[in-house]
Amino acid sequence: NAGVTQTPKFQVLKTGQSMTLQCAQDMNHEYMSWYRQDPGMGLRLIHYSVGAGITDQGEVPNGYNVSRSTTEDFPLRLLSAAPSQTSVYFCASSRPSGGTDTQYFGPGTRLTVL
């Protein structure tokens, strides 16, 4: 099993450009999430999904879109990149386990917006 994979690993954008961060998991997990990590702020939830076709907003959703057409994939779209979106982005997946879910994180995408 590859676990959770993310592409690209690094990306540099100019302000106003759009792009999609890819996330895939091969563990047949129902739950998938996107977080961003900024220095001194831990990880903050952007969007999450509890199954194919179902998504919802997290703590910092503005400027990002998601969709979940399959169980395996959960892409994150930046519509018009801004310097404030410079961050490290992590995708995670898990299976519901009655309050003891184990979240598996991908290796991250480091995004710089100029």
Partner 1 sequence: TQLLEQSPQFLSIQEGENLTVYCNSSSVFSSLQWYRQEPGEGPVLLVTVVTGGEVKKLKRLTFQFGDARKDSSLHITAAQPGDTGLYLCADLGNQGGKLIFGQGTELSVKP
Footprint on this chain of partner 1 (rule: CB under 8 A)? 4, 30-33, 35, 40-45, 48-50, 58-59, 90, 92, 94, 96, 99-103, 105-108
C-alpha to C-alpha distance for 82 and 65, rounded to whole angstroms: 14
Query: Is 14 or 98 the residue whose CB approaches partner 1 more closely?
Result: 98
CB of 109 to partner 1, least distance (A): 11
Assigned token pair, 88: 């490290």
C-alpha to C-alpha distance for 62 and 22, rounded to whole angstroms: 18
Query: Is 18 or 56 the residue whose CB approaches partner 1 more closely?
Result: 56
CB of 70 to partner 1, least distance (A): 16
Assigned token pair, 73: 């994939």
CB of 107 to partner 1, least distance (A): 6
CB of 105 to partner 1, least distance (A): 3
Query: Is 24 or 92 the residue whose CB approaches partner 1 more closely?
Result: 92
Element (H, E) at 62: none
DSSP conformational letter for 73: B
Q: What is the largest CA-CA distance in the chain?
A: 43
